Amino acid sequence: MTTNGRVGKTGETTLGAVSMHCSHDPAANWKKYLAAIEEAAGRGTDYLVFPEVSLHGYLMGSPALGSPEMGDQLAYFRRVAEPIPGPATDRLTELAARHNMLIQAGLAERAMDGNIIYNSAVLIGPRGVLGVFRKLHNQFEWPVFSPGDHLSVFETRLGRVGMFICYDLAFPETVRAFALQGAIIAALTTAWPMKGDDPATDYYGYTYDILSRANALSNQLWMVCSNQVNRPPTPGCANYYGHSRIIAPNGEIVAELGHEEGLVTATVDLREGIERGRTRDFFGLNLLQDRRPEFYGLIPATDIYTARTVAPAVRGATPDDPTANEQSTADPRAVVAR
């Protein structure tokens, strides 16, 4: 089988993730995209992931509302944001077609005549845009970026893929939703910062490590993580952790960069990795099979935010369970398994 100019084994897929030192100069960022795509093509990459808003640069700190600094930041993103499809996705489609590659890019997406801007990841194949994900958990990015509204997966020639962005990694429901929809790859585009300046001991870097590996393991799927690295030249920007990586369904890192700019790739058998993860590695257990969703009813509940107390969820976990509301009137101390 010939793929991307190389001869590989049947079932082989090469995954790639970019660690990119970004700026707020879109032309300079585009040059880095071109170089990374060319290098990835030389390695026979099938799926290449770029960091968060890496076409335009991420937020320039958190200036106060109404401040000149916030005004400048809003003006910048209103000026550079692009529609999807648009000029950037058109150029990326040409490159995806040339190299028979799937490319996941991070950009500021323009909507509603520029009055709404999303922090988006777009998946592009040889024939154009395959899907768009808009960052879901982004409360701290307002008023620059508006929140997304879905956790969809997208069909590709490799299988189903779920895209997500940075802070979404901190919520286990995100990747679980992808896994339940049949995703075999969860692809993270991020600008994960450091708390300090020493990547070897940084706490935020530690959380990135724990969360990325735990999400891969708990859903027994492949994870591709692409992060920005180093501090952009614009004043107020964070120092990003890097460590772009590819993680197997058993939670093991199969390939990783450190705190450096570059490209990491790994050639793997996606299906074999999924099967091994769900039949052998973790005690031979399939964590999707062993779920007990009838007891998870509190997870999507919103009325508990204003409840004075929340009774133990003994049985009524689903809305169609006739015993679902019995707990609310019962003394929690008297509730026993039935």
On whether both 207 and 308 belong to a single domain, the answer is no
Q: Are 190 and 132 within one domain?
A: yes
Please report whether residue 86 resides in a domain.
Answer: yes
Q: What pairing do the DSSP bridges indicate for beta strands 240-241 and 47-49?
A: unpaired
Q: What would the pLDDT profile of 184-207 be if each residue is shown by its tens digit?
A: 999 999 999 999 999 999 999 999
- Which two structure tokens, joined as six digits, stand for 40? 């990835």
| Per-residue tokens: 28 | 């300079």
Residue 183 maps to which CATH number?
3.60.110.10
Predicted model pTM: 0.89
d(CA 153, CA 180): 10
With a cut of 50, say whether residue 99 has pLDDT above it.
Answer: yes
Which stretches within the chain are classed as H helix? 26-42, 68-80, 87-99, 172-180, 203-219, 270-276, 326-329
- Dihedral Cα 273, 276, 278, 279, nearest 10 deg: 170
Closest-CA residue to 3 (of 121, 101, 83, 94): 101
Number of structural domains the chain divides into:
2
CB 58 within 8 A of CB 190: no
Residue 270 lies in a domain: yes
Does 22 share its domain with 163?
A: yes
User: Domain range for residue 178?
Assistant: 2-281
Are 261 and 195 in a shared domain?
A: yes
Average pLDDT of the chain to the nearest whole number:
91
What mean pLDDT is predicted for residues 255-278?
A: 97
Quick check: is 147 in a domain? yes
Q: What is the largest CA-CA distance in the chain?
A: 67
Q: What is the pLDDT of residues 139-178, one digit of tens each?
A: 999 999 999 999 999 999 999 999 999 999 999 999 999 9
Inform me whether the pLDDT recorded for 106 exceeds 50.
Answer: yes
In sequence order, which residues have a C-beta less than 8 Å from that of residue 57 and are 6 or more positions away?
22, 23, 24, 25, 26, 29, 232, 234, 237
Pair (311, 163) in one structural domain = no
Question: Strand 229-230 vs strand 240-241: parallel, antiparallel, or unpaired?
Answer: antiparallel
Question: Do 298 and 259 share a structural domain?
Answer: no
